[in-house]
Structure 1
C-alpha cells in the first residue's frame, strides 16, 4: 500500500526493519521532484531494544537556488524511533541511542568530506522536552522545529502533545529537529559527558540528597583506604555509578566511558575529586553558552563557505486539539498525532572551525 501510493505520488521510499524480526521499522519517503538521494546508510543500534535509524544524504534540486552561485545544497536526514522509557534504568540506553546516531552522522560527514550542511532528525523520540535526550540534542545546537515555529521555549513542555502511549499518558514525543550549518556545536563527547553527569545528578536528587549529602555519599563509597582525604576516589565514583544503575550491567556505561567521565570531572588531574570539582563538574556545571547565531566559539576559523540552511516557515500538529494539550477521543487513525513542518531554504555563510 505504502510503496504503491507513495510511489505514484512521486516519492522514493527507503525502509528499514528493526532487528531480530520485531515486525515494525522505519519508512522515509523523499519526493524526487525536490531531492536527489545521493546516498543512504542503515544504522543498527546495538542495544536490547533492537532500534534502528536511517541516514539519508540528499541534494536539494532547483529552483531553490541558482547553482551558478556554487552554494552547497545538500542535507542529511535521519529517521529513528527510540526505545520507550519503561523505567528509569532505560534512560541511559536512550541517551546512548542518540549518541550513537550522532556519532554515525559525524563519521559519515568525515568519510564523505562534507562541509557544513543542515541536519534534520525526525521520528518518535519517546521522550518529552523534560527528558535527558531533549537536553542532549539542544546542547548540540538542534532546535525543535515545532517549538521554533510557535516561539515556545524549552520550558514550555505542557503547551502541546503528540502521543497517547500504551499506558494512557499523553505527552509530546514527536520531533523534527533542525541543525543549521551556522549553529555553534559543542564537541559531541563533551555534550555526552555533560548529559551523563546531568542524569547522575538527577538520580542523586531523586534519592533526596542535597549537594553536600551527595558528596559525602560518594566520599563514603571511596572506602577507608581513601588516601585522598576529604575527596572522592575513582573507585568510589565507580561504586556510585553502579549503585545508581548507570554502570555494572551490559547496557550501562562501559569502562572506557566511565574513565572519560572521571577525566572530565578530575579538573586538576590529581586522581581524586575534591568538593569544588564535584560541584563544578557534576552538581552545578556551567557548560558552554549556546549561541543563537553560531558566532560564539572556541577554536580557529579555517575559512568561510556558503551553504544552504533552513528557516522554519510553519509547523502544525493534527488533530488540532493536541496543539492545546488535549487528546481527542474520536481520533482513531493512530496513537500519534501527525507533525508537519514547512521549511524554506536560505543561503548562509558558515565558518569551518578547528577546535
Structure 2
C-alpha cells in the first residue's frame, strides 16, 4: 500500500490521503459516522464468464476480504458504523463481525432483507459514546425486499461544551440500502422507499412525543446528486454531509464517486444525510408530490415537449382548455408511471391530483398545470440560525459537518482505482461537531 494511503493510528488519528479523521478518543468534541456497502460474497463475481461462480463459494476469499474490512473499520474507530450488503446468511461471518466489533466496544444491530435474500444491514454504535433508547426495524415489504434500521440513541460521551447543561443529546440514526434502478420504473420505487422511511421517522417522533432531533440517514441510496432522491431529501431539509464538508454544489456532481456498479459505470450513490433540528421542513406529502411531478416533467422533457406541447398532451381530447382526471391518468400511463407493478397506486394518483387541482374544481387549467406540474421542483429549504442562543427556550443538540472523507482517495477526484478490492463501493466517513441550538416544537410547515 502506498504511503499516501497508509493509516497512522496509535489511538490518535486515522490518516487517509491528505485528510485526517480525528479519533473521538482524543477529540471529545466530535463524533464520527462511517457508511460502507461491503459487497456481500453472494453477489461478488469471481469470473465474469461464469456469473454463477461467486466469492461465497471460496471461504478463504470472503474471509480474508472481510477481515481486511474489519481491520479498516477498527482502525478508523468511528462512533457509528452503518454497513450494507452484510452477509447475514452466513453464521461464521456474522460471528466474526459480532466478536471483533463487540471486543472493540460496539453494540451491533443486524437486519436481514425480507424473503431470505441472504444479505442485510448492520449498524454498530460505540457503547462508550451512546446509550440505546430504542431500535426499530422497517420492512418495506415491496419489490426488492428492502429494509431499514432506526436507532434512537443518546450521547453519553462527556462533550466538554455541554457539561453541566440541560441540553438534550439525542439522535436518530437510519441505515438503509435502496433498490438498484435497473429500469426507469424502479426510480419511482426508490422514491417511494425514501418516502416510507421519512414517514416512519415522522411517525416515530410523533408517537414518542419527541421534539425535533438531529437525524442521520446513512447508506447506499443507488441514486446520484442528479437524481430525484437527492432533490427530495434536500426539499425536506437534509444536506449531504460530504458535499457540505467540501462546499460542493449541485454542479460539482462529477467531482466524486463512490461506486462502480455491475455495468462498469462509476457514480456517487453513498451518502450520510444530516437534518438538524432547526431546519425548516415542508409537509412530507407535499414534498413527495413535488418529487413525483419532477419525474413527470422529466419524462415530458425527454420527449422534447415544450410547456405548451406538454399541456396539450395532458389535455388530450378534452373539450375545454383544461386537463381532466382521466386525461391525467392516461398521460401517467403513457409515461410509464402507472400500469405496472411498480407504478403509482390509485391512492397516490389521487393525492397527486389533489395537490395539482389548486382550486378544487375537478380539472386543471393552464395556470395550475404550469405551477404544480411544469414548474414543480423539490426546492431546498434554508437553515435557521445555528448559533448558540442563551435565552430561556429549551436547547437541543445539533451538528456541524467538520470533515468528510471517501476511501479510496481516488474516488474523491471522480476516478475508480483498478487495484481497489475491498468492495465495489467506497467507504464514507464524516466527522460531526455538536453545537447547541434552540429546540422548536414538531410542527411541520
TM range, smaller chain: over 0.9
Aligned twin of 2:412: 323
TM-score by length of 2: 0.75
Moved over 6 A (4+): 286-289
For residue 160 of structure 1, the aligned residue among 247, 253, 256 is 256
> Distance in 1 between the 2:162 and 2:430 partners?
24
Distance 1:336 1:344, change over 3 A: same
Instruction: State the shift of 1:181 in Å.
Output: 0.3
Please state if 1:285 is matched with 2:376: yes
Aligned twin of 2:127: 32
For residue 61 of structure 1, the aligned residue among 156, 160, 173 is 156
Distance 1:19 1:121, change over 3 A: same
Please state if 1:351 is matched with 2:440: yes
**RCO higher in 1 or 2 (8 Å CA, sep ≥ 6)?**
2
Q: Which residues in structure 2 correspond to 1:48-127 (within 5 Å)?
A: 48-64=143-159, 66=162, 68-127=164-223
Instruction: State the shift of 1:70 in Å.
Output: 1.7
Instruction: State the shift of 1:304 in Å.
Output: 4.4
> Distance in 2 between the 1:186 and 1:307 partners?
21
Aligned twin of 2:106: 11
- Structure 1: 5+ residue runs without aligned partners? 296-302
Aligned twin of 2:275: 179
Deviations 1:27-81 (A, max 9, x none): 1010001111111100001211000000000000130254642211100000000
Structure having the larger proportion of residues in strand: 1
> Distance in 1 between the 2:307 and 2:341 partners?
29
Deviations 1:107-131 (A, max 9, x none): 1101111111000000001110000
Distance 1:294 1:287, change over 3 A: farther
Instruction: State the shift of 1:249 in Å.
Output: 2.7
How many residues align structurally?
Answer: 343
For residue 142 of structure 1, the aligned residue among 238, 241, 254 is 238
> Distance in 1 between the 2:163 and 2:284 partners?
32
TM-score by length of 1: 0.93
- Structure 2: 5+ residue runs without aligned partners? 1-95, 387-391
Moved more, 136-145 or 277-286: 277-286
Please state if 1:253 is matched with 2:344: yes
Give the SS at the match of 2:135: strand
